[in-house]
Amino acid sequence: MTRYSAFAIVREALRGNAGWPRALPDAAPRQRYRVIVVGAGGHGLATAYYLARNHGIADVAVLEKGWLGGGNTGRNTTIIRSNYLRDPSAAVYEKSRSLYETLSQEINFNVMFSPRGVLMLAQTHHEARAFQRTARANALQGIKTEYVAPFRAQELCPILNVRGPRYPVLGGLWQPRGGTARHDAVAWGYARACAAMGVDIVQNCAVTGIRRAGGKVVGVDTAKGPIDCDKLCIVVAGHSGQLAEMAGFRLPVESVALQALVSEPVKPLMDIVVMANTVHGYLSQSDKGEMVIGGGADGFNNFTQRGSFHHIEETVRALCETFPVISRLKMLRQWGGVVDMTGDRSPIISKTPVEGVFINCGWGTGGFKAIPGSGWATAEMVANGAPGHLAGPFGLDRFREGRMIDESVAAAVAH
């Protein structure tokens, strides 16, 4: 692997930029691997990376149906935060956020983690109380967040309309080390780092069947032929249900389309990420200058990577109201991704009824921020054959036991 640096850039430029080696791997699959990871999105690649790095297991193939990073990893609004209420969530998302802090240096690929701060607006009394509760929980979790007054929110984001008229900003939950990263780069960087450690990443290699013998996984059938394995880890987000079905079990997940959009690029306009949950919209500005906008998911299950226009309307309307100066900017591009939602809106990192098959799914609308931590926890589970303390609470058994990890506090009703 050629080490990336400013020096390398100068050196290669002087040689006419003809010497750059391949960065994105695409291997032909071997006959057998110790571990096969299905899905070369962020979570799958991170799982493979930490299997090799933390557990010395590099005899790994990551099989990707299409192009790596082409699912939700390349379709999200890139928000990274860990200001969660429940302890199990806080633990995994904060692990993730802290790994993002040093990821660029660790994998020698600039993923542009930008700890610019994330502000979640409280626009009802109920939401204000919920965020105060979260801030207090975060203090005990070792996560630096703060409940801030409206004037501070205005200071952090001058284009914010704190006065309403409909939903004045009553306060906000501020996480100064939350932020964004370059989503594609996360996938590319992990892929390059995986390959450097000997992991095979195989693109255009859809898994078509999961072979079992005696209740245990023995391999997969793919578009590029059968491949044997000792362990199989399914990390395919929106299509988890189909893979589980191939393995012979069912998952408590629903797949829905979630949309995002960007405006045309403009000069720096806002320096932080703002999430307005009451009116339902998120806004941040990419380094390129585009305003990046996210909103609600479709109310019906589907696999189209599109989504209904009325969600775009609702989101844009909410954000024009919250940030009046964006009204004359123009929507440049909109797109959708398929997210898999669980009943408690928390992920699944779990063993499955099939021996040797593990699954990581259910990140719903917020998986990007979790990529490093999720990969870390999943690798630990796959390597040891059992979840560690990060993954433990997210097992499939929780649905049977009713041990929900429900983060939808702000969505509860007020009298």
Partner 1 sequence: MSTRLATGGTRIDRSQRLGFTWDGQPLQGFAGDTLASALLANNQVLVGRSFKYHRPRGVVAAGPEEPNALVGLGTGGSFEPNARATTTALADGMLVASQNAWPGLAHDVGVVNGWLSRFLRAGFYYKTFLWPRAFWKRLYEPAIRRAAGLGRAPDRADADRYEYLYLHADVLVAGGGIAGLAAAREAAQAGLRVLLIEQEACWGGRAATDGVTVDGKPAADWVAGTVAELQAMETVTLRLRTTVTGVHDHGFVTALEAADAGPRQRLWRIRARHIVAATGAIERPLPFAQNDRPGVMLAGAVRDYAVHYAVSPGDRTVVVTNNDDAYRTAIALREAGLTVPAILDARLRVEGALPERARAMGIPIKPGHAVAGSVGRGRVEGVAVCVQAGEGAVLETIPCEAVAMSGGWSPTVHLWSQAGGKLRWDAAQLLFRPDPARPPIGADGAAIVTAAGAANGVLPAGDCLEDGVAAGRAAAKALGAKPQTGKAATAAAPEEAPIEAVWCMPQGAPPALRDKIWLDFQNDVTMSDVALAAREGYESVEHAKRYTTLGMATDQGKLSNIGGLAVLAEARGATIPEIGTTTFRPPFTPVTLGAIGGEARGALFKPTRKTAMDGWHDANGAVWEPVADWRRPFCYRKPGETVDQAVAREVRNTRRNLGILDASTLGKILVTGPDAGRFVDTLYTNRMSTLKPGRCRYGLMCNENGFLFDDGVVARIDDHSFLCHTTSGGSDHVHAWMEEWLQTEWWDWQVYTANLTEQFAQIAVVGPQARAVLEALGGIDLSADALPFMGWTEGTLAGIPARVFRISFSGELSFEIAVPAAHGQALWDRLMAAGAAHAIAPYGTEALHIMRAEKGFIMIGDETDGTVTPQDLGLDWAVSKKKDDFLGKRAQARADLTRPDRWRLVGLQTLDPRTRLPDGAHAVDGTVLPTGIRRTIGRVTSTYMSPTLDRSIALGLVERGPERIGEVIRFADGRGHIEARIVDPVFYDPQGERQNG
Q: Judged by CB under 8 A, which stretch of 28-36, 37-45, 127-135, 212-220 contacts partner 1?
A: 127-135
Question: Mask 148-187, x = binds partner 1 (CB under 8 A)?
Answer: -----------x-----xxx--------------x-xx--
When asked if residue 250 is in the footprint of partner 1 (CB under 8 A), the reply is no
CB 100, min distance to partner 1, A:
12
| Nearest distance, CB of residue 55 and partner 1, angstroms | 19
- At its nearest, how many Å lie between partner 1 and the CB of residue 214? 29
CB of 75 to partner 1, least distance (A): 11
What is the size of the binding site for partner 1 (CB under 8 A)?
119
| Residue whose CB is less far from partner 1, 132 or 242 | 132
Under rule CB under 8 A, residue 223 binds partner 1: no
CA distance 229 to 125: 54
Cα-trace Rg, the chain = 21
Residue 378 binding partner 1, by CB under 8 A? no
What's the distance, Cα to Cα, between the start and end of the chain in Å?
60
* Distant-in-sequence, close-in-space partners of 86: CB < 8 Å, separation ≥ 6: 137, 346, 405, 406, 407
- Are the CB atoms for 264 and 290 separated by under 8 Å? yes
> How many angstroms separate the CA atoms of 25 and 329, rounded?
38
CB 310 to partner 1: min, Å: 9
Q: Which of 160, 194, 326, 381 is the binder for partner 1 (CB under 8 A)?
A: 326
CA–CA separation, 370 vs 127, rounded Å? Answer: 24
Closest CA to 130 of 179, 176, 79, 172: 172
d(CA 315, CA 125): 22
Token pair, residue 373, equals 């931590």
Per CB under 8 A, the list member of 5, 54, 301, 384 interacting with partner 1 is 5
154, 159, 162, 163: CA torsion to nearest 10: 130
Instruction: Find the binding residues for partner 1 in span 295-324 (CB under 8 A).
Output: 304, 306-309, 312-313, 316-321, 324
Q: Residues 22, 30, 216, 250: which binds partner 1 (CB under 8 A)?
A: 22
Q: Is 390 an interacting residue with respect to partner 1 (CB under 8 A)?
A: yes
Provide CB contacts within 8 A for 199, sequence distance 6+. 48, 49, 51, 52, 58, 60, 61, 62
Residues 58-97, interacting with partner 1 (CB under 8 A): 66-70, 74, 87, 90-91
Q: Helices 87-107 and 371-384 sit at what angle, rounded to 10 degrees?
A: 100
Q: Does 112 bind partner 1 (CB under 8 A)?
A: yes
328 binds partner 1 (CB under 8 A): yes
Q: Is 24 in the site for partner 1 (CB under 8 A)?
A: yes
Which residues within the stretch 34-53 sit at the binding site for partner 1 (CB under 8 A)? none
CB atoms within 10 A of CB 52: 21
Residue placing its CB nearer to partner 1 in the complex, 140 or 213: 140
Helices 125-141 and 87-107 meet at what angle, rounded to 10?
60
Query: Does residue 283 interact with partner 1 by CB under 8 A?
Result: no
- Of 130 and 251, the one with the shorter C-beta distance to partner 1 is 130
Question: Which pair of tokens denotes residue 378?
Answer: 């999943």
Interaction with partner 1 in 335-354: which residues (CB under 8 A)? 335, 343-344
- Which pair of tokens denotes residue 310? 């009325």
Q: Should residue 409 be labelled a site residue for partner 1 when binding is judged by CB under 8 A?
A: yes
